[in-house]
A and B are shown apart, each in its own frame.
Chain A
Amino acid sequence: MTKMTYREAVRSGLREALRRDPRVFLMGEDVGRYGGTYACSKGFLDEFGPERIRDTPLSESTFVGAGIGAALGGMRPIVEVMTVNFSLLALDQILNNAATLRHMSGGQFNVPLVVRMATGAGRQVAAQHSHSLEGWYAHIPGITVLTPATVTDARGMLLTAVQEPDPVFIFEHAYLYSMEGEWEDNQPAVDISRAAVRRPGKDVSLITFGGSLWKALAAATDLAQAGIDAEVLDLRVLRPLDIGTILTSVRKTHRAVVIDEAWRTGSFAAEISAQIMEGAFFDLDAPVARVCSEEVPIPYPKHLEDAALPQPDKIVKAVHRLLK
């Protein structure tokens, strides 16, 4: 067992990917001399050189598109878009090129591209830097969407992703970079197709992903004190969704609360809820509940930001309402 932060786990995964495969290179804003906005590539410029650690201009659409082109040209680019907020500037390349090329070309071209970005709120950086849009990306066929919530996944998902033949988008929750966790040495390759049960339970399924996992686990601890045994599911992969693991859990607990840091309307939580209705309606003892962000731009002051986001106490309340 090694203790490391989520940030160190990402850095360790990146370094390993760069060491293993000479086709892998890292490209993005301030990944080189600055060491990465979240210090995930600190020291890489010295270790791997400027050919493989490429600082880019602030041109999200073009450096993501260049990642697509480089992937088509035989490289294995890892593109860092600093945060999900700026990824909107690259949405055309992601949706119209990366996601479509294989199918639209009749299978002639595939795009082995990894795009990483920070996501989420909780750091008092206000409305334009606090988005949670991974659910939007999960809407798009042709890409894989990963949301690592643990240090093991932060490191291992990246290593698996760089071996994928098609585009993989990794959303690292910005709030988690300083979180410490345990990482097992010499572990096998990390799977990127299955959800994980992070806490087994029998009374209710708390279904979530990314930064909200830790809030759901905190809520489960509170609920345990009230005699309620919550199962906590970490989706890990939003697309393709492992609906089997979700339905197995719901069939056991008969109740589900979906926790998603995105706005409630049109959220990924809505998709999970719909799929539970489709697949396990008659197993439910109560309607599926959702704990999402309030439908407001995320405000700067801490008390307002906290109030806007899913919190353990909101999850606990939602569970109590279901069990009434």
Chain B
Amino acid sequence: MTTSLTGNHGRDLLRQMLRIRRFEERAAELYQLGKIHGFLHLYIGEEAVAAGSIPLFTNEDAIVATYREHGHALVRGTSMDHLMAELYGKAAGCARGRGGSMHFFDASHRFYGGLAIVAGGLPVAVGLALADKMQGRTRVTGCYFGDGAVAEGEFHESLNLAALWKLPVLFLCENNFYAMGTALARHQSQPDIAAKANAYAMGSDTVDGMDVLAVETATSRALDLVRNGHGPYLLEYRTYRFRAHSMYDAELYRTKEEVNDWKRRDPTATFEQHLRHAQLLCDDDLQAIEALITSEIEVAVAFAEAAPWEPVQDLNKDVSTRQRDA
């Protein structure tokens, strides 16, 4: 794997992970400053999953994600300006500011949310794939969800239906081992999530979600299977959330030692070391990457600050297409 990794590609993977990390660190600061409100679920610690998997989808494919979706939208290609404006709630946001952190949408990138009811995106992904199959298109729908979702009925119903109808859905489970504060082993009789696919005659794989190259390799293989008509597939990425569930929680449900153990496997730091050892990254490269990201974030913050609010008179706009409710 290492031998085939080019410097450009490796640096790009690192850059994407760091973009997510720095974007969210800045978002957390802006939250403290009262610029961002509501829930803000940070992805910090899990960046290797989005950075390693999202670029493998084509522009025609669809992505359905959850309320912890900043990284997915960033890597998918929605401009950071529009994402930051969405966090601010400004009209220039990627959902006109109406959704905030949990509800990023971007039709131009076939990014269908930002759906914030746990497991609620799985049936929608099944339907998007059904539409593709019925219209003879060879597109894939990538559906991201967390380990909490596997306890929901919709997870099981959706895996069953997708497998029954051989639909082109790639189910991507980001297992960070906690459904909010409830550990996987405390809510699952069978904590091996990938194994659950067997019940639906579906292929599956377990992936080290802290290793961006492992994510890329496994996702690429799974995506090929789905794209070539072998039906749906389940990937379980084992990863870890370094921050609180949302902005604040007392973290009574896990120990500092556990968090620190996982932080030693920080996907950005370990991959940076990996690139350095392979002589694919030097200090100047890293500084250049960080400088680009810093400037992208500063531009995005300035954009969000300057962007107008949606006028109150537009409150009822787009409740329905025909505006009969207004």
Contact B117 A92 (CB under 8 A): yes
Contact B153 A61 (CB under 8 A): yes
Q: Which residue of A lies closest to B161 (CB)?
A: A62
Spot the interface stretch: A102-110, A180-188, A208-216: A102-110
Contact A69 B131 (CB under 8 A): yes
Contact of A142 among B103, B122, B319 (CB under 8 A): B319
Contact A166 B322 (CB under 8 A): yes
**Closest CB of chain A to B75's CB: distance in Å?**
19
Mask of B223-243 contacts with A, CB within 8 angstroms, 1/0: 000000000000000000000
Q: Across the interface, which residues of A come within 8 angstroms of B322, CB to CB?
A: 164-166
Contact A106 B161 (CB under 8 A): no
User: With A65-B123, A104-B98 in contact, is A141–B325 under 8 Å at CB?
Assistant: yes
Mask of A43-60 contacts with B, CB within 8 angstroms, 1/0: 000000001000011010
Contact A72 B127 (CB under 8 A): yes
Residues of A within 8 A of B (CB-CB), count: 44
Task: Tell me the dominant secondary structure on chain A's binding face.
Answer: mixed
Contact A93 B131 (CB under 8 A): no
Q: Across the interface, which residues of B come within 8 angstroms of A102, CB to CB?
A: 318-321
Contact of A62 among B115, B134, B157, B319 (CB under 8 A): B157
B296: Cβ under 8 A from any A Cβ:
no
Q: Of residues 85 to 141 in B, which have CB atoms within 8 Å of A's CB atoms?
A: 93-99, 103, 105-107, 112-113, 115, 117, 120, 122-132, 134-135, 141
B187: Cβ under 8 A from any A Cβ:
no
Interchain Cβ contacts within 8 Å, total number: 153
Q: Which residue of B lies closest to A67 (CB)?
A: B127
B270: Cβ under 8 A from any A Cβ:
no
Contact B112 A93 (CB under 8 A): no
Contact A105 B105 (CB under 8 A): yes
**Closest CB of chain B to A49's CB: distance in Å?**
11
**Closest CB of chain B to A243's CB: distance in Å?**
12
Contact B321 A70 (CB under 8 A): no
Mask of B148-165 contacts with A, CB within 8 angstroms, 1/0: 000001100110110010
B324: Cβ under 8 A from any A Cβ:
yes
Q: Across the interface, which residues of B come within 8 angstroms of A56, CB to CB?
A: 161
Residue in A67, A103, A105, A166 whose Cβ sees the most chain B Cβ within 10 Å:
A105
State A82–B25 Cα separation when bound (angstroms): 49
User: With A64-B123, A165-B322 in contact, is A109–B112 under 8 Å at CB?
Assistant: yes
Contact B95 A65 (CB under 8 A): no
State A101–B103 Cα separation when bound (angstroms): 10
B317: Cβ under 8 A from any A Cβ:
yes
Q: Across the interface, which residues of A come within 8 angstroms of B160, CB to CB?
A: 57, 59, 62
Contact of A66 among B112, B127, B321 (CB under 8 A): B127
State A103–B157 Cα separation when bound (angstroms): 27
**Closest CB of chain A to B30's CB: distance in Å?**
21
Mask of B301-326 contacts with A, CB within 8 angstroms, 1/0: 00000000000000001111110110
Contact B105 A106 (CB under 8 A): yes
A96: Cβ under 8 A from any B Cβ:
yes
A74: Cβ under 8 A from any B Cβ:
yes
Contact of A70 among B93, B94, B131, B153 (CB under 8 A): B131
The 10 closest A-B pairs by CB, nearest first: A69-B127, A65-B123, A73-B131, A106-B96, A66-B127, A62-B157, A59-B157, A107-B318, A105-B105, A165-B321
B: residues with CB less than 8 A from A are 62, 93-99, 103, 105-107, 112-113, 115, 117, 120, 122-132, 134-135, 141, 153-154, 157-158, 160-161, 164, 317-322, 324-325
A-B contact pairs, 16 of them (CB 8 A): A25-B134, A57-B161, A65-B126, A65-B127, A66-B124, A66-B126, A68-B123, A69-B124, A70-B134, A72-B127, A73-B62, A97-B124, A101-B113, A104-B103, A106-B318, A108-B95
Known: A61-B123, A109-B112, A165-B320. 11 other contacts (CB 8 A): A65-B127, A69-B124, A69-B126, A73-B62, A75-B134, A92-B154, A96-B117, A101-B113, A105-B95, A110-B321, A166-B321
